[in-house]
């Protein structure tokens, strides 16, 4: 018996040592290796992009995506998988838009446009009018009603090429797209054309959401994006020929809200029943491409985080949730609903990470948190160096996780290389072939490694409170 006890003791010690021997470096190495040699994200994206395709909120494809991702999560052997109901807006593009530039002499040149999401249609025969080009709302105001009434306003401020992080260049331009119609309508414009949010010169028009705010229905004007090549052409023609007119026709429409869902999966934690770590992306996409980068990549990476944790033999202490949000693009209804319900239930989301910036090579994370927590994540930065992950900065996290913000938790956004993102964003070339398998898998691994660290070490609410008292 003594021998048996001794052997048992030694065996237990050995197991303990073996378990202890797994340093953070080793666990993270396993995570990356598993993603790069046995990842699922790319095959999932192939299906989501090529078999389902573009999936605007309220569409049949969006519903297909809900059902298929739930089925795939069901296969992973998670502790819970469910759908969270949410009503979403349903906007449809109608038949393909048509537009041309007409010179004073009557020569026409077809240009590439697409209706902005949320825009009204033009009259059935389209509209044709003279064009006023502006680069800002201030310039619009300076021109005033006498120069704008009855015309089409052309917002042509390009994205700033010398900003290194292209999301910043987007941030400096997107008000033209989002609020251009409201601003132009003030001065009696009959339509709005916006230069596509694209740093490259090409022929793809890029859609995206726009608003009418509280503008009465009868004052609303149709709004479309024009490709960057055609924006340059229109601008040149306007300089050469003051009589240049633009014609455009679109038949898009806002329908009644419809039922949709967030898709949620969970691994239940072993030690902290009310602490939640969330990883997610948004399941809806614009309708022009198949939404591979925006945000199919974030969806499949987030799904693979839970799978990679399991495959890497990690047993979480906290509840790990994947949330595939519905309706990020034109309403944020899914994110709003999720945050409301989490608050009602008192679920403490200590960390929420979104991937919604493309499926390119990951460079790091943007963190939205207090300084104590930021110092905590900085102390982990060296663990990511072997994977060329170097960008740890305080900045905005992600639209879908934003509503979960508290004074003590950590929100984060994966930050991939941004140089090519706006070549594809919201356009018909946001397609599966533009995603590289390894880049996607490196992103999934990088997210998993950070989730692993937050699960292991948590956030320190006491330190946070002390910090907040300063």
The answer to whether 422 and 198 have CB atoms below 8 angstroms apart is: yes
Of residues 75, 145, 438, 456, which one binds a second copy by CB under 8 A? 438
User: Which member of 64, 70, 157, 200 binds a second copy (CB under 8 A)?
Assistant: 200
Q: Measured from the CB atom, is 334 or 364 closer to a second copy?
A: 364
How many whole angstroms separate alpha carbon 298 and alpha carbon 359?
7
328 included as an active-site residue: yes
Instruction: Return the structure tokens found at 350.
Output: 């200590």
Residue 33 engages a second copy in binding (rule: CB under 8 A): yes
Whose tokens are 């319900």? That residue is 341
Distances (CA, A) of 11 to 1, 18, 19, 21: 15, 10, 12, 15
Our CB check for a second copy shows the closer of 310 and 437 to be 437
Contact stretch for a second copy (CB under 8 A) within 85-93, 144-152, 404-412, 413-421: 413-421
Q: Which residues contact 289 (CB under 8 A, 6 or more apart)?
A: 54, 424, 426, 427, 428, 429, 430, 431
Catalytic residue among 133, 275, 328, 441: 328
Quick note: the x/- pattern for a second copy over 315-354, rule CB under 8 A, is ----------------------------------------
Binder of a second copy out of 361, 406, 460, 463 (CB under 8 A): 361
DSSP-derived 3-state class of residue 226:
strand
Only one residue has tokens 């240049």, namely: 244
Position 304 contacts a second copy (CB under 8 A)? no
Asked if 144 touches a second copy (CB under 8 A), the answer is: no
Q: Least distance in Å: CB of 167 to a second copy? A: 12
Q: Which is nearer to a second copy, 38 or 108 (CB)?
A: 38
Bond preceding residue 110 cis, omega within 30 of 0: no
Contacts (CB under 8 A) with a second copy, residues 391-410: 391
Q: Which is nearer to a second copy, 107 or 438 (CB)?
A: 438
Smallest gap, in angstroms, from Cβ of residue 423 to a second copy?
A: 7
Question: Quick one: which segment of 50-58, 226-234, 350-358, 387-395 binds a second copy (CB under 8 A)?
Answer: 387-395
Say if CB 442 and CB 417 are below 8 A apart.
no
CB-CB contact of 250 with 94 (8 Å): yes
CB-neighbour burial class of residue 17 (10 A; exposed 0-12, middle 13-18, buried 19+): exposed
The two structure tokens encoding residue 412: 């984060």
Instruction: Tell me the site size for a second copy, rule CB under 8 A.
Output: 27
Nearer to a second copy, 37 or 213 (CB): 37
| Span interacting with a second copy, options 304-312, 326-334, 383-391, 452-460, rule CB under 8 A | 383-391
Among 125, 162, 214, 218, binds a second copy (CB under 8 A): 162
- Nearer CB in complex with a second copy: 280/443: 443
**Does the CA dihedral 301-303-306-309 come out positive or negative?**
negative
Of residues 293, 253, 237, the one with CA closest to residue 92 = 253
Distance of alpha carbon 319 from alpha carbon 268, whole angstroms:
5
**Cα gap 177→195, rounded to integer Å:** 8
The helix or strand, by DSSP H or E, that contains position 168, with its residue range, turns out to be helix 166-171
Q: How far apart are CA 122 and CA 162, in angstroms?
A: 36
Part in contact with a second copy (CB under 8 A); list of ranges 323-331, 338-346, 431-439, 453-461:
431-439
Cα gap 378→401, rounded to integer Å: 21
Residue 239 interacting with a second copy (CB under 8 A): no
- For the bound state, the minimum distance from the C-beta of residue 134 to a second copy, rounded and expressed in Å, comes to 21
Residues at the contact surface with a second copy, assessed by CB under 8 A: 32-33, 36-37, 161-162, 164-166, 199-200, 361, 363, 386-388, 390-391, 417, 419-420, 423, 436-439, 442
Catalytically active residues are 328
């Amino acid at each position: 018996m003594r021998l048996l006890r001794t052997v048992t003791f030694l065996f237990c010690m050995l197991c303990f040592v073996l378990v202890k021997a797994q340093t953070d470096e080793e666990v993270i190495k396993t995570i990356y290796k598993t993603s790069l040699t046995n990842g699922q994200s790319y095959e999932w994206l192939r299906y989501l992009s090529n078999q389902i395709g573009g999936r605007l909120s309220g569409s049949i494809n969006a519903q297909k995506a809900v059902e298929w991702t739930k089925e795939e999560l069901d296969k992973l052997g998670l502790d819970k998988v469910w759908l969270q109901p949410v009503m979403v807006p349903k906007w449809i593009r109608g038949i393909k838009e048509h537009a041309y530039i007409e010179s004073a002499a009557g020569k026409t040149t077809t240009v590439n446009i697409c209706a902005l999401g949320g825009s009204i249609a033009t009259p059935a025969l389209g509209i044709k009018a003279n064009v006023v080009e502006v680069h800002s709302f201030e310039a619009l105001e300076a021109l005033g009603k006498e120069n704008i009434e009855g015309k089409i306003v052309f917002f042509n401020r390009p994205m700033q090429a010398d900003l290194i992080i292209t999301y910043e260049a987007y941030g400096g331009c997107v008000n033209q797209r989002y609020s251009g119609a409201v601003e132009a309508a003030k001065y009696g414009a009959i339509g709005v054309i916006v230069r596509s949010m694209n740093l490259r010169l090409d022929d793809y028009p890029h859609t995206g959401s726009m608003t009418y705010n509280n503008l009465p229905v009868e004052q609303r004007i149709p709004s479309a994006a024009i490709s960057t090549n055609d924006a340059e052409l229109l601008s040149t023609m306007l300089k050469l020929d003051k009589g240049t007119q633009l014609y455009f026709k679109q038949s898009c429409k806002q329908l009644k809200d419809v039922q949709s869902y967030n898709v949620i999966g969970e691994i239940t934690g072993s030690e902290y029943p009310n602490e939640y770590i969330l990883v997610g992306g948004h399941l809806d996409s614009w309708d022009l491409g198949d939404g591979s980068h925006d945000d199919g990549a974030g969806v499949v990476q987030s799904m693979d985080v839970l799978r990679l944790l399991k495959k890497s033999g990690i047993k979480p202490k906290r509840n790990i949730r994947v949330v595939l949000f519905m309706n990020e693009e034109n309403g944020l209804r899914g994110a709003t609903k999720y945050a409301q319900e989490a608050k009602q239930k008192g679920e403490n989301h200590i960390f929420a990470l979104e991937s919604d910036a493309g499926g390119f090579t990951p460079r790091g994370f943007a963190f939205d948190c207090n300084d104590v927590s930021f110092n905590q994540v900085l102390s982990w930065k060296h663990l990511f160096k072997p994977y060329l992950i170097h960008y740890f900065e305080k900045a905005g996290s992600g639209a879908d996780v934003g509503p979960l913000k508290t004074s003590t938790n950590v929100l984060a956004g994966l930050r991939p290389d941004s140089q090519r993102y706006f070549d594809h964003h919201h356009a018909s070339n946001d397609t599966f072939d533009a995603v590289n398998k390894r880049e996607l898998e490196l992103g999934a691994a990088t997210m998993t490694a950070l989730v692993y660290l937050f699960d292991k070490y948590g956030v320190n609410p006491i330190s946070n409170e002390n910090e907040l008292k300063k």
